[in-house]
Amino acid sequence: MSFKASILTLYPDMFPGTLGQALAGKALKSGAWSLDVTQIRDFATDRHRSVDDTPAGGGAGMVLRPDILAKAIDHVSSTEDRRPRLLMSPRGTPLTQAMVRDLATGPGAVIVCGRFEGVDERVIEARQLTEVSIGDYVLSGGEIAAQVLLDAVVRLLPGVMGNAASGETESFEAALLEHPHYTRPTEWEGRTIPDVLTSGNHARIDAWRRERAEALTKARRPDLWQAQARKKPTADR
Ligand code: ADE
């Protein structure tokens, strides 16, 4: 049984979007994962097919109704469904590579794409939605965020990544940012490739890459550097 993603959205035409292209798109066509997309509005009950209403207590914006969203969720996910239910939201837990890896080993995910000011809190509780954020900025909806999350998950699924080794050594898996990369031509616009990389001395190359990765991490991501220094107390700060 391959990874199964179910999307709930008011904008189904946004899918598969980027997930229909490149690595994720090929994996979708090959059956390494599957995607179904449900229009939340199909579960509206009034003749205007409305899905939102004004916030209790007043204020700006509109709130997604709990009854409509619950019906949509129940349509795609029964009580026996073991898949986690996620709600893409800027107030969610920040997405990390550890969460991505966890999801990739599971049966799939039911992903609700938020819109408007928010979603009625009662449906988040009653349907056990885990709120996930892709970063500290506000998108106009959760659709792009859901694609970001699924892209990160799909590339880790069995048989998806061509070169498995490139997955392991990448940023965050090793808790360091990646070292710089170079390829031909050996001279371009007067710029050359660092000599060590053409030396053929693999011990020296590994040491150089490690040093560059550490320097980049310290400069750009002091938070990551500190976190890995705590994990490995011998590492210098
Ligand atoms: N919806 C709007 N902004 C978002 C964010 N930063 N992450 C996830 N979902 C969102």
For domain 3-154, give the fold.
Answer: Alpha/beta knot (3.40.1280)
Note the pLDDT of residue 231. Answer: 79
Question: Does any ligand 1 atom lie closer than 6 A to the CB of residue 55?
Answer: no
DSSP result, the chain: --EEEEEEES-GGGSSGGGGSHHHHHHHHHTSEEEEEEEGGGG--STT---EEPPTT--SS-EE-HHHHHHHHHHH--TT--S-EEEEEEEEEEP-HHHHHHHHTSSEEEEEE--SSEE-HHHHHHTTPEEEESSSS--SSSHHHHHHHHHHHHTTSTTT-S-HHHHHSSTTTSSSPPPP---S-SEETTEE--GGGGS--HHHHHHHHHHHHHHHHHHH-HHHHHHHHHHSTTS--
Question: Does any ligand 1 atom lie closer than 6 A to the CB of residue 114?
Answer: yes
For the chain, residues classed under CATH 3.40.1280.10 are: 3-154
What parts of the chain have a pLDDT lower than 50? Answer: none
Instruction: Convert the pLDDT of each residue in 191-215 to its tens digit.
Output: 999 999 999 999 999 999 999 999 9
Mutating to test ligand 1, I would choose from 9, 14, 64, 88 the residue with most ligand atoms within 8 A of its C-beta, which is 88
Question: Does any ligand 1 atom lie closer than 6 A to the CB of residue 144?
Answer: no
Q: Is the peptide bond before 158 cis (omega within 30 degrees of 0)?
A: no
Residues 6+ apart with CB under 8 A from 92: 130, 131, 132, 133
Q: Ligand 1: distance of its center to the CA of 6 in Å?
A: 18
Architecture per CATH, 169-231: Orthogonal Bundle (1.10)
Note the pLDDT of residue 175. Answer: 86
For the chain, residues classed under CATH 1.10.1270.20 are: 169-231
- 11 belongs to an annotated ligand binding site: no
Note the pLDDT of residue 165. Answer: 53
108 residue type, one letter: G
Provide the whole-model pTM: 0.93
Question: Does any ligand 1 atom lie closer than 6 A to the CB of residue 88?
Answer: yes
